[in-house]
Structure 1
Amino acid sequence: MKMTFRWYGEGNDSVSLKQIKQIPGVEGLVWALHDVPAGEEWPMDKIMEYKRLADEYGFHLEVVESVNVHEDIKLGLPSRDKYIENYKRTIEKLATVGVKVICYNFMPIFDWMRTDLFKEMEDGSTALFFDKAKVLSMSAEELVNNIAGNSAYSMPGWEPERLKHLAPLFEAYKDVTEEDLFNNLQYFLEQVVPVAEQNGIKMAIHPDDPPYSVFGLPRIVTNRDNLARLLKLVDSPSNGLTLCSGSLGANPNNDIPALVREFADRIPFAHIRNVRVYENGDFIETSHKSDDGTVDIAEVVRAYHESGFEGYVRPDHGRHIWDEQCRPGYGLYDRALGIMYLWGVWDGLERIRKGNA
């Protein structure tokens, strides 16, 4: 298990590289060029600037999250080919700085979705929260204003310039079915996976968050059967998964440890986080501790350990604790606690395996 930490870059993150360096066992940064619009080729000078910063603190840059997919690719428009060509060239550039995994998603219009960025919990901490009934009663425009307008940091997946054109985007998707989305994903993968293979990179699709349709939009990376199907679209080790226990765990019908065991050889990158799902469908992100949420994180880690997992992981979202002022879900303190919880479970399993328990 190779531990990483997501970092949004200088001036766009409350957490410093010096602080990340002090978290035990963190080897690399999970990074991206968040100021480059989806569909554009990444500039080499900006890539090299990230490498310079990482090198200064001894971090690798082997995991990128995300090289975002342009909406025209998801929609299957004729213009998709030029954006796919840009994507291929970006893959080639990333290989030159040692990138091994590219996490991406194929969610129409919206990336992750929450209704409250700072929902107060019983202990006084705050966390990202999804109110299912509220989403059903509000417009997409209201949700965009709520998310994009309530953070001091840029919000990947909620770029104001792109979401200013919300009505035309919804119009474009009105007749797009899940089957259409699968076909468009296959077309994309058939183009980029061979380039990834040639450059020693694994594409790792992130599940939809939450893993079901919202605002009538199709979503396909949602459950076991769909994960199995998308891996067969292009049957290659370079067509893999970013298995996110929190995203898939928002649907209690998804058995996360079972998914890990089934797809372990196609999971180059894992997000491990917990989420508490309520009977009405609401959910909130909790600490990583198993008992705090609906997902048995200790059993998830056991599944990775038993599978001989040697890929990359990161603690993913955390609560906002100890009055930390930070990007929603991406503070230092709770993610560092999460890493130590994951290491504690992993180290215990290692001692048992070696007979030292």
Structure 2
Amino acid sequence: MRMVFRWYGEGNDTVSLKQIKQIPGVEGIVWALHDVPVGEEWPMDKIEAYKRQADEYGLHLEVVESVNVHEDIKLGLPSRDVYIDNYIRTIEKLAKVGAKTICYNFMPVFDWIRTDLFKAHEDGSTALFYEKAKVEEMNPQELVSKIALNPDFTMPGWEPERLRRLAPLFDAYKEVSEEDLWNNLQYFLERVIPVAEQHDIRMAIHPDDPPWPIFGLPRIMTGRENFRRLLKLVDSPSNGLTLCSGSLGANPSNDIPAMVREFADRIPFAHIRNVKVYENGDFIETSHRACDGTVDIVDIVRAYHENGFTGYARPDHGRHIWDEQCRPGYGLYDRALGIMYLWGIWDALERNAKESA
């Protein structure tokens, strides 16, 4: 397991590279060019600037999250080839700075969805929260307005220039079924996977967050059967998964350790985090500790260890603790605690394996 840490860039993150470097076992940053509009080719000078910053602290840039997919690709519009060409040129540029894994998603309109960015836990910490009934009753524009109340940080998946076209986007998706979305994903993968193979890069799709349809929009990356279908669309080691235990864990019927064991050789990137799911379908993000949530983090890490996982992992979202002022879900303290919890499980498994040998 190779530990990495998401970083949003100089001037766009409360966490510094100096701090990241001091977290035990972290070897690289998970990064992206968040100021480049979705669909545009990433400029080489900006990519190289990130590399210089990471090199200063001995951190690599092997994991990119995300090179987001333009809506025209998801919709299957004639203009999609222009955006796919841009995507391919971006892959070629990322290979020049050592990128090995590109995380992306294929969620229509919205990326992750939460109804509260700072919901209080009993201990006084706060975390991202999803209230099922509220989502079922609210207008999508209300959700956009709520997220926009956090203007200090870019919110990946909630790019203002895209969400300003919310009504036309919803109209466009009225004609798109789940099967259409599958076909459009296959078209995209058939174009980009051969390029990824040429450059020793693995594409790793992120599950839908949460893993069910929202506002009538189709969603297809929701669980085990769909992952099986995805991996067969283009059967290549470069067509893989970002297995996110938090996204999948919002649906308790998802057996995440079983997915790790089944898809181990097609998981280049793991997001390991916990959520607590309530009987009414609400969920809140918790500490990484298994007993604090609904997700069996211990068995998930055990499944990775059993399969000799050598891919990348990050602690994903954390709570906001010790009065830290930070991007929702992306403070320093709780994610660093999460890393140490994951290492503790991993080290114990390593010790047990050696003593049993």
- Shared fold (TM-score greater than 0.5)? yes
Within the alignment, does 1:20 sit opposite 2:20 as a pair? yes
Q: Distance in 2 between matches of 1:92 and 1:161?
A: 26
CA distance in 1, matches of 2:179, 2:219: 10
Q: d(CA) in 1 for partners of 2:116 and 2:275?
A: 14
CA contact (8 A) 1:241 1:269 kept: yes
- Which residue is 2:167 aligned to? 167
Q: Secondary structure at the match of 2:355?
A: coil
1:261-340, aligned counterparts within 5 Å? 261-340=261-340
The corresponding residue for 2:204 is 204
Q: State how 1:213-228 maps to structure 2 within 5 Å.
A: 213-228=213-228
Q: Which amino acid aligns with 1:217?
A: L
Secondary structure of the structure 1 residue equivalent to 2:113: coil
SS at match of 1:355: helix
Moved more, 83-92 or 156-165: 156-165
Q: How does 1:137-152 map to 2 (within 5 A)?
A: 137-152=137-152
Say if 1:148 and 1:159, in contact at 8 Å, map to a contact too.
no
Correspondences of 1:27-176 after superposition (within 5 Å): 27-176=27-176
- 1 CA distance for matches of 2:237 and 2:148? 36
- Find the counterpart in structure 1 of residue 233 from structure 2: 233
Counterpart of 1:180?
A: 180
Deviations 1:249-289 (A, max 9, x none): 10000001000000000000000000000010000000000
Segments of 5+ residues of structure 2 without an aligned counterpart are none
Q: Normalising by the residue count of structure 1, what TM-score does the alignment of the two structures yield?
A: 0.99
Q: What is the one-letter code of the residue matched to 2:89?
A: R
Structure 2: which amino acid aligns with 1:194? P
Structure 1 residues 57 and 12: alpha-carbon distance in aligned structure 2, compared to 1, 3 A threshold? same
In the alignment, residue 259 of structure 1 is paired with which amino acid? M
Structure 1 residue 148 displacement after superposition: 2.1
Q: Shift in Å at residue 151 of structure 1?
A: 4.3
1:192 aligns with 2:192: yes
CA distance in structure 2 between the partners assigned to 1:115 and 1:11 by the alignment: 26
| AA aligned opposite 1:162 | R
1:133 partner letter: A
* Cα distance in 1, alignment partners of residues 7 and 290 from structure 2: 25
One-letter code aligned to 1:236? S
Residue type of the alignment partner of 1:323: D
Letter in 2 for 1:54: A
Query: Once the 2 structures are TM-superposed, how far is the Cα of residue 147 of structure 1 from its aligned partner?
Result: 1.0
CA distance in 2, matches of 1:297, 1:113: 22
**Count of residue correspondences:** 357
Alpha-carbon distance, 1:150 to partner: 2.4
In 2, the alpha carbon distance for the partners of 1:44 and 1:175 equals 37
Between the aligned residues of both structures, percent identity stands at 80
SS at match of 1:90: helix
Distance 2:104 2:252 in 1: 23
SS at match of 1:12: coil
Instruction: State the distance in 2 between where 1:15 and 1:55 align.
Output: 17
1:36-70 residue CA offsets vs partner (Å, 9 max, x unmatched): 11110000000000000000000000000000000
Query: Could you tell me how far apart the structure 2 residues matched to 1:151 and 1:247 are?
Result: 24
The separation in 2 between residues aligned to 1:231 and 1:38, in whole angstroms, is 25
Q: C-alpha offsets along residues 152-205 of structure 1, whole Å, 9 cap, x if unaligned?
A: 201011111210110000000012111000000000000000000000000000
1:300-350 superposed Cα distances (whole Å, 9 cap, x missing partner): 000000011000000000000000000000000000000000000000000
Residue identity in the other structure for 2:285: E
Displacement of 1:24: 0.2
- Deviation at residue 91 of structure 1 after TM alignment: 0.3
